[in-house]
Amino acid sequence: MADASFRDFVLDQLAGLRGLDCRAMFGGYGLYADERFFGIVHRGALYFRTDEQSRPDYLRRGMRPFVPGSRQSLKAYYEVPAEILEDPESLLDWARRALAAKHSPY
């Protein structure tokens, strides 16, 4: 799926999120809700911000952190599992958790 069509799919799935905005960044797109950055769409994948409370849910499912290049990794952002991405209600719950995630040292 091309990034633009995947981005549109993600935005449709997150349509219930108040103040949702999408901006070009990192060769992909940044997701914001009420001006708060919480997610990244990049190369056909969706990544949400995590913290110590939410990260274990990603790790249990074998998800990996966002790595935009060979020398760079944003370890606070993890790929959203496909089963969550395909379920709008679950995706909204995970997006709200990403918005509530505290900034961590990752």
Spell out the long-range contacts of 80-87 with Cβ–Cβ below 8 A and sequence spacing 24 or more: 80/45, 80/46, 80/47, 80/48, 85/10, 85/13, 85/46, 86/13
pLDDT greater than 80 at residue 46: yes
User: pTM for this structure?
Assistant: 0.91
* Tens of pLDDT, residues 2-41: 578 999 999 999 999 999 999 998 789 999 999 999 999 9
Pairing of strands 36-42, 45-49: antiparallel
1 pLDDT band, cuts 50/70/90, is: very low
Pairing of strands 45-49, 65-69: unpaired
Q: What would the mean pLDDT of 83-105 be, rounded to a whole number?
A: 90
In angstroms, the CA 104 to CA 106 distance is: 5
* Tens of pLDDT, residues 60-82: 999 999 988 777 777 899 999 99
